[in-house]
Amino acid sequence: MAADWAKHDMAFLDGRRLRRPRAAAWSRAMVRETSLSTADLIWPIFVIDGQNERTAIKTMPGVERLSIDLAVAAAKAARDAGIPAMALFPNTPGHMRSEGGEEAFNPGNLMCRALAAIKSAVPDIGLIADVALDEYSSDGQDGLVRDGHVLNDETIAVMVQSALVQAKAGADIIAPSDMMDGRVFAIRQALDQSGFDHVQIMSYAAKYASCFYGPFREAVGTGARLKGDKRTYQMDFANSDEAMREIAQDIDEGADSIMVKPGLPYLDIVRRAKDNFNVPIYAYQVSGEYAMIEFASAAGSFDRQAAMVESLTAFKRAGCDGVLSYFALEAARLLNE
261 is known as an active-site residue: yes
Q: Is the bond into 21 cis (omega within 30 degrees of 0)?
A: no
Strands 149-150 and 85-90: unpaired
Query: How far is it, in rounded angstroms, from Cα 122 to Cα 114?
Result: 12
207 is known as an active-site residue: yes
For residue 87, CA distances in Å to 111, 112, 128, 276 come to 11, 13, 4, 26
Which amino acid appears at position 47 of this protein? Answer: V
Q: Please enumerate in sequence order all residues whose Cβ is within 8 A of that of 103, keeping only pairs 6 or more positions apart, or say none.
A: 92, 96, 97, 109, 136
**Is residue 82 a contact partner of residue 128, using CB atoms and an 8 Å limit?**
no
Q: Please enumerate in sequence order all residues whose Cβ is within 8 A of that of 117, keeping only pairs 6 or more positions apart, or say none.
A: 68, 69, 71, 72
Q: Where are the beta strands (DSSP E) in the chain?
A: 41-48, 54-56, 64-67, 85-90, 126-131, 145-146, 149-150, 173-176, 200-207, 257-261, 281-285, 322-325
Q: Which of 76, 119, 227, 261 is catalytic?
A: 261
Query: How far is it, in rounded angstroms, from Cα 38 to Cα 93?
Result: 33
Looking from the CA of 29 toward its CB, the CA atoms found within 13 Å total 3
Look at residue 1 and give its three-state secondary structure.
coil
For residue 195, CA distances in Å to 49, 123, 189, 192, 252 come to 30, 19, 10, 5, 21
Q: Which of 207, 230, 274, 316 is catalytic?
A: 207
Q: List active site positions.
A: 207, 261
